Amino acid sequence: MSELKKGPFWITNTLTRKKEEFVPQAPPHVGLYVCGPTVYSDVHLGNVRTFTTFDLLYRWLLHLGYKVRYVRNITDVGHLVGDIDEGEDKIAKRARLEQLEPMEIVQKYTNGFHAVMRQFNVLSPSIEPTATGHLIEQIDMVKRIIDHGYGYEANGSVYFDVPKFAEKHAYGELSGRKIDELMSNTRDTEGMDEKRSPLDFAIWKKADPIHLMKWPSPWGEGFPGWHLECSAMSTKYLGLTFDIHGGGMDLKFPHHECEIAQSIAADGQAPVRYWMHGNMLTVNGRKMAKSEGNGFTPEELVTGNHKLLERGYSPMTVRFFMLQCHYASTLDFSNAALQAAEKGLERLMKAVQTLNSAKASGNSNGAYTSALNVIEELAYGHMNDDLNTPRMIAVLFDGVTEINKAVDGGGVARGFNEAELGRWKKFYSEMVFDVLGLQQETATAGDDTAMDGLVKVFIQLRAEAKAKKDFAASDRLRDQLLALGIVLKDTKEGTTWERA
RNA sequence: GGUCGCGUGGCCGAGUGGCUAGGCACAGCUCUGCAAAAGCUGCUACUGCGGUUCGAAUCCGCACGCGACCUCCA
């Protein structure tokens, strides 16, 4: 099995649009870069999906034994609002609205972002660089682009010369665009622009006097262009060419396309070997986006305090909901789907709990060894096939049925010996907790000994009532406990309890 | 308008040209004083029309419907 675990890992490279075997540049090291959030407002569930997707990738790479340097940036400057001529820094705009310092906004929403990531059990990256912390690197990159003839200054701003770049390089390769098609499809609102071509994009932008976030540069006071930070920081921490770059589908063009162009222009080599893009979370078939106003925050999700939500759902329910769909497919949000996921997750987690507290009966005929062999092989196969979590989870559920069949009400796993049971426990714990990143959300019966003892007193009272055939009394006890969130279950081996 | 993608059973959602995805819901049964849980059984779909093929949900074409990107967006 150990060989199989390592077994070839295939991922869809959106650059070639094909599944390719993943082979790191310098095994066992893997360089992974993911575009992080712009911290000018709360993250919504769509953002969470992308970070969950790459969290899954990160976890799988770690599980396969790779040493991963995972860089996920915080964009705290530079993206413009609206069209370029009256462009305004999003963060600065928000700062004025809230009467705060720009860096206060950055701090506030960075904190919020981190809190959400913790809620959804998304692992921290190895490095989380900020754009403002890498001005020198960005300015330096602009210089290199100019030196190589692909950037030009105009009125204090510096633009990337796309047509010139396209003469020698494949601009549009990632997003499948052709330069002349782009030309003819340009929206014609440029007019008095400083750009030589409408396709050109700013790599350094002059700051107007009222602009709050600005830095000195060889071209005057300004701020870095939209796409530059990722190029500068990925180069700094992962090298000129690194293994995997991830992000949401919506960043493919122009953001990632521009990253490629910048890196090639500055340093002469393509920055990324494998591009991966996560698909969108939709609501009623439409992309969830801040600009659509159809997004909701994780807090609204948990409390259910939003018009799209019939009630609240836990973060793990949502994580599981997302994992039941392949990362490259759009996923449509709905209350019914969430409720289904909630039930499914409960079934899975209960089985894991049952498994973990089970004791082996000792009399094994090896059936559960071969069953696990099959499950393991399938699960690894599916994960290695472009992170096919829906199929992997389906396999997990096959095992859940086996577990439920084997473990009796007294917690004895019939037909298992110690070693077998240990293997099952290890496998399920690795897949469910380490790889899928799910966690137990409700306190378990054994967590609180006082509580457990208390409930057992009631169970004893009820057993006495039952023995006297006083079912009215026994049912009343059960109902009253249920009202407090305690569920009693009568089994052949006695009564057990759990939280609802 | 251009580029790309999608259209699967009551719902969500996988899918390799031929062999049961899975989850949820629903129905019946077993267990049970009743219930809950669990197990068993049933529910067999692939937008439409052509084509390729011994055979297509899976390949090709056309039509219809939907979406993403083309502007900040995960």
Burial class (CB in 10 A: 0-12, 13-18, 19+), A450: exposed
Domain ranges within chain A, ordered by starting residue: 10-278, 283-435, 445-499
Is the CB of A335 less than 7 A from some atom of nucleic acid strand B?
Answer: no
Q: Can you give the distance from the CA of residue A398 to the C1' of nucleotide B41 in angstroms?
A: 17
Instruction: Please give the ipTM for the structure prediction.
Output: 0.95
**Same fold for the pair A10-278 and A283-435:** no
β-pairing verdict for A494-499 and A486-491: antiparallel
β-pairing verdict for A242-248 and A29-34: parallel
pLDDT of residue A4: 45
User: Torsions phi, psi of A215, nearest 5?
Assistant: -140, 150
Would you say A219 and A153 are in contact if contact means Cβ atoms under 8 Å apart? yes
Q: Which residues of chain A between 390 and 419 are close to nucleic strand B, CB under 7 A? A: 390-391, 393-394, 397-398, 400-401, 404-405
Is the CB of A168 less than 7 A from some atom of nucleic acid strand B?
Answer: no
Q: Can you give the distance from the CA of residue A274 to the C1' of nucleotide B65 in angstroms?
A: 34
Q: Can you give the distance from the CA of residue A181 to the C1' of nucleotide B2 in angstroms?
A: 7
- Number of neighbours of residue A443 by Cβ within 10 angstroms: 11
- DSSP structural state of residue A435: I
**Which residues of chain A have a pLDDT value below 70?**
1-6, 78-88, 96-99, 186-193, 442-447
At A283, which amino acid appears?
A: V
A453 token code pair: 């003892």
Q: What are the tens digits of pLDDT across the range A70-123?
A: 999 999 985 444 333 344 577 777 776 666 788 888 999 999 999 999 999 999
pLDDT of residue A410: 87
Positive or negative: CA dihedral A458, A463, A468, A470 = positive
Is the CB of A110 less than 7 A from some atom of nucleic acid strand B?
Answer: no
Tokens 């500068």 label which residue? Answer: A232
A371 token code pair: 């069953």
CA angle A78–A81–A83, rounded 5-degree value: 115
- Number of neighbours of residue A39 by Cβ within 10 angstroms: 25
CA distance A199 to A196: 8
Q: What are the tens digits of pLDDT across the range A190-248?
A: 445 688 888 999 999 998 777 778 899 999 999 999 899 999 999 999 999 999 999 99
Is the CB of A378 less than 7 A from some atom of nucleic acid strand B?
Answer: no
Query: What are the beta bridge partners of residue A215?
Result: A222
- Number of neighbours of residue A442 by Cβ within 10 angstroms: 15
CA distance A437 to A121: 6
Rounded to 10 deg, the angle between the A367-384 and A418-429 helix axes is: 20
Rounded to 10 deg, the angle between the A471-483 and A449-467 helix axes is: 160
Is the CB of A326 less than 7 A from some atom of nucleic acid strand B?
Answer: yes
Q: Can you give the distance from the CA of residue A13 to the C1' of nucleotide B56 in angstroms?
A: 27
| CATH domain A10-278 topology | Rossmann fold (3.40.50)
Tokens 């293994």 label which residue? Answer: A243
From 1.10.730.10, 3.40.50.2300, 2.60.40.2890, 3.30.70.260, which CATH number describes the A283-435 domain? 1.10.730.10
At A82, which amino acid appears?
A: G
Q: Which nucleotide is nearest to A405 (CA to C1')?
A: B39
Strand B bases with any atom < 7 A from protein Cβ = 1-5, 11-15, 21-25, 31-40, 66-74
